[in-house]
Amino acid sequence: MPIFVIHEHHAKRAGLHYDLRLELDGVLKSWAFRKEPPTIKGVKRLGIPQPDHDLSYADFEGVIEEGYGAGLVKIWDRGEFKLLKRDEKKIVFYASGSKLKGRYILIDIGRGWLLFKA
């Protein structure tokens, strides 16, 4: 089963944010969210797509010393997911993590991707 990870990233420039990473197409597809990802229905979060990361990055915790992302990175949640639907504008998946549990939807709304628990 593919994996997901959410990094809690205390970046010096961008501030605290959460990076959702889903294992898709042999890489970690990534979105950055200003607030914690939703764990209950009714909460929506806007995420901005980020560059893909190598699968080995899923285990990373530590300090990024230089560049735009410089700062502390911790794993906020991790687990496996089942991909239920995927097209250009929508990703539906079932997450099995310690915090993210259940069916989630990511929808491209043009200015970013909306994430919510279904």
Assigned token pair, 112: 């970013």
Strands (E) across 25-100 are located at 27-33, 44-53, 62-64, 71-86, 90-97
Q: List pLDDT tens digits, range 18-72.
A: 999 999 999 999 999 999 999 999 999 999 999 999 999 999 998 888 766 788 8
| pLDDT given for residue 25 in this prediction | 97
pTM of the predicted model as reported, rounded to 2 decimal places: 0.93
Residues in the chain: 118
Q: How far apart are the first and last CA of the chain?
A: 21
Q: Domains of the chain: which residue ranges?
A: 3-117
Arithmetic mean of pLDDT, 12-22: 90
